[in-house]
Amino acid sequence: MGLPALNMLICNGKVFLLALILCYLQFGVSEGQLKVGFYSQTCPNVESIVKTIVRDATLTNPRMAPMLLRLHFHDCFVEGCDGSILIDNVEDPEKRAFGHQGLGGFAEIENAKAKLEAECPGVVSCADIVALAARDAIVLSGGLSYQVETGRRDGRVSSESLAADMPDVNDPIQTLKSKFMNKGLSEKELVLLTGAHTIGTTACFFMSKRLYNFTGINDADPEINPDFLPSLRTQCLINGNVNIRIPLDALSNEKFDDQSLRNIKNGTAVLASDARLYDDSITKQVIDSYVGFLRPVSGPLFVQDFPMAMVKMGRIGVKTGLEGEIRRICSSFN
């Protein structure tokens, strides 16, 4: 073979190899995206299995639905939606961070994982189980169903130190907005996701500053409706039991509706961070668009827009394709 022919063969080979690499990368990207029905061929019963676990757990424990919803939020806000909140076999796991106090639903996620491992081992990620369980919890509480994108992989990092930027109940509005925007979420999505506080409870531990020492002079948050303040103080006594739990929405605590936004507007929000949404012109306008007096008859409905915020939150920092792993046990790295 002459030198020109050999050079041409090498050149063509490089072009072919480059084409193969580009094709592989394109295939890898397309396969690495979240999508509805990701497990339709590999584990077709995944959604029904998770749904059954969530339903049974909720029937046993009325607090389970809000706990599973909160678990998904807390997972996504640290290292992305990768199941890192579930890990407990490292020295300082993420779940021990101050902002994660009171989380629950871990056993239910592990139960679902065990059943899925028995049916389709090594296929379904713990991160996807958390996302599916949150949707089912919303539906069981009367919220609208929505399609959950799946295909997440489980992360290999879980550290208490990484949870420092979790939204906090005492954050001012600008800090809350910044923390959400850092995750790619808008002011509207901040309002919508906060609206999830229409179900669930909180501990008096998170109320002491707001009720008794808001500015450091033994005072209460002035945004609390004066008619509502005595009720809160009766439930969370000064120097009382900080583990007592009170409903986030006393009017419809087990029903997924827009009442939490109405509470913010009326000064009867329980958490300080919820009340702060009425301190900002943009988030106030969003709230009023859902529950304000001038809301158009055909205006937006919170229960219809909430699922879109959940889907977007579920995309935060996801690991797909060859990233991460599929854990055998949700609480432990492989």
DSSP string, 94-130: GGGSGGGTT---HHHHHHHHHHHHHHSTTTS-HHHHH
Spell out the SS3 assignment of 262-276.
HHHHHCCCCCHHHHH
pLDDT for the residue 221: 97
User: Which residues neighbour 327 within 8 Å (Cβ) at sequence distance 6 or greater?
Assistant: 83, 113, 125, 126, 154, 333, 334
Q: Is 74 a catalytic residue?
A: yes
Residues 329 and 266: their CA atoms lie apart, in Å, by 45
Q: Does residue 274 have a known ligand-binding role?
A: no
CA angle 306, 208, 174 (to 5 degrees): 45
List 53, 54, 67, 74, catalytic entry: 74
The 3-state DSSP class for residue 92 equals coil
At 6, which amino acid appears?
A: L
Residues 152 and 318: their CA atoms lie apart, in Å, by 6
Strand-strand pairing, 245-247 and 149-150:
unpaired
At 139, which amino acid appears?
A: V
- Answer yes or no: pTM beyond 0.85: yes
Q: Does residue 197 have a known ligand-binding role?
A: yes
Q: Does residue 167 have a known ligand-binding role?
A: yes
Q: Does residue 80 have a known ligand-binding role?
A: yes
On whether the CB atoms of residues 242 and 198 are closer than 8 A, the answer is: no
Domain ranges of the chain: 46-163, 173-309
The 3-state DSSP class for residue 332 equals strand
pLDDT in tens, the chain (334 residues): 554 443 443 344 444 444 433 433 333 333 358 999 999 999 999 999 999 999 999 999 989 999 999 999 999 999 999 999 999 999 999 999 988 988 999 999 999 999 999 999 999 999 999 999 999 999 999 999 999 999 999 999 999 999 988 999 999 999 999 999 999 999 999 999 999 999 999 999 999 999 999 998 899 999 999 999 999 999 999 999 999 999 999 999 999 999 999 999 999 999 999 999 999 999 999 999 999 876 766 668 999 999 999 999 999 999 999 999 999 999 999 9
Q: What is the CATH number of domain 46-163?
A: 1.10.520.10
pLDDT for the residue 249: 96
Q: Does residue 279 have a known ligand-binding role?
A: no
Residues 217 and 287: their CA atoms lie apart, in Å, by 31
| Cβ neighbourhood burial of 247 (10 Å; 0-12, 13-18, 19+) | middle
Phi and psi at 36, nearest 5°, equal: -70, 135
Nearest to 87, CA basis, from 67, 66, 69, 110: 110
Tokens of 249: 């929405």
Q: Does residue 75 have a known ligand-binding role?
A: yes
| Superfamily, domain 173-309 | Peroxidase, domain 2 (1.10.420.10)
pLDDT for the residue 292: 86
Q: Does residue 84 have a known ligand-binding role?
A: yes
Nearest to 178, CA basis, from 188, 167, 163, 170: 167
pLDDT for the residue 293: 79
Q: Does residue 82 have a known ligand-binding role?
A: yes
User: Which residues neighbour 12 within 8 Å (Cβ) at sequence distance 6 or greater?
Assistant: none
The 3-state DSSP class for residue 246 equals strand
Q: Does residue 78 have a known ligand-binding role?
A: yes
